[in-house]
Amino acid sequence: MFYAKSDTPLDDEVLRALAADNPLEAVRRTSAVADLLARHVGQPAKVYPLARQGTFHIVHGATLSDGREIVVRSSLPQLHPVDDRMLIEASVFPLLETAGLTCPRLLLIAVGGERSAAFDAVVMDCAAGTAFADLDDQDDPGVLAAMGLALRRVHTIEGDGGYGPLAEFSGSRLRGGSARWDGYLDTSLDRHLATCRTLDLLTVAEAERARGLSSGADCGWRGDAGRLLHADPGGHNIFIDGGRVSALIDWEDAMLGDPLFDLAMWATFQPQRRHGAFLAGYGAPAASRDFARTFARYFLRITLAKAVHRIRFATPDLPGRPTLRQRLSEALELADAAD
């Protein structure tokens, strides 16, 4: 898959029901999560569903009897009988700490044969601070620079082979599922373009131009080893405490590849006015023509995949935000201008 939320083999009807079903399932599952914590953490806990639920998992918060706040992420076994991607943090967190980043403490990993409930689960301490998406001032240049620096530290971690979404994560060993980076970029490209064409989000000419600009054949990256990428660095997954990044959470989409791809992924979540401070914090040569060209092409490729995600999940355009058609047009214009 290029992007799990756009390329999952699940039926669209199933995907579209998740937004309504997951909050209800979180309420139903609260007592089972409390039982799990009582058995494995050794303390009674006040358990409550979090307001922001996952796409393919359920999230609860809990207050232990000693006052500690923890988070429980649990699987949807009707979709994934064994959700082994919940094991990724156990491999990634020690590497991140070596790179100078802080990570929540893992308290329990109960996946597959290790689980004692009807679902897989990972329990960890709450990240300190506040999710960037919930900050009052999201234009603070110092905070934006801190996010850039945090991703730069992530990108110092090299994989053990392969590119794209992690196919192997055992101990500190990370391997991607694609043999070539350019091959990964072309995964599902024609299907993503066809989906956008079917709904008239792209004209025939625009789709052909987008294919040429976002294909992996001219990706511009010739790195010897794929670097660890978060691959979902939205503001909901980055926690800020005292102006610094206190944690990067939710690593289920982690992959190996060109670090610039992760920067472009971050940028698709944020308005352009925030990009400069973020890239400055990262230390990216934003003025470089090669940088701008590759960044814009990745931005377009990611926007195509995200468009398919929004279509499959029937995510509506929000008032005051660019429409899906506008997002695609702007990404194509950015790639055209940088070419």
Averaged pLDDT for residues 316-326: 90
Average pLDDT over residues 233-262: 96
Residue range 152-161, pLDDT digits in tens: 999 999 999 9
Q: How confident is the model at residue 286 (pLDDT cuts 50, 70, 90)?
A: low
The DSSP-derived string for 117-160 is SSS-EEEEEPPSSEEGGG-S-TT-HHHHHHHHHHHHHHTT-B-S
Q: Which CATH architecture has domain 132-338?
A: Alpha-Beta Complex (3.90)
Residue percentage of the chain with pLDDT more than 90: 86
Q: What is the pLDDT of residue 284?
A: 84
Q: Which of 103, 128, 101, 125 is nearest to 37 (CA)?
A: 125
CATH topology of domain 4-127: Phosphorylase Kinase; domain 1 (3.30.200)
The whole-number average pLDDT for the span 240-266 is 96
Within the chain, all domains assigned CATH 3.30.200.20 are found at 4-127
The yes-or-no verdict on residue 219 having pLDDT over 90 is no
Give pLDDT tens digits for 10-27. 999 999 999 999 999 999
Query: Which of 275 and 289 is assigned the larger pLDDT?
Result: 275
Q: Report the pLDDT value the prediction gives residue 320, as an integer from 0 to 100.
A: 85
What distance in Å separates the CA atoms of residue 288 and residue 305, rounded to the nearest whole number? Answer: 26
pLDDT reading at 210 higher than 90: yes
Query: Any bridge partners for residue 47, and if so which?
Result: 62
Residue 135 backbone class (left: φ over 0; alpha: ψ -120 to 50; beta: rest): beta
Cα–Cα distance for residue pair 160/267, rounded to 1 Å: 27
Give the model's pLDDT for residue 220.
66
Question: What tokens does 61 get?
Answer: 């918060």
- Whether the predicted pLDDT of 63 surpasses 70: yes
pLDDT tens digits, 169-191: 988 899 999 999 999 999 999 99
CB atoms within 10 A of CB 192: 27
Question: Hunting for tokens 């230390």 — which residue is that?
Answer: 283
Amino acid 171: pLDDT: 86
pLDDT given for residue 56 in this prediction: 95
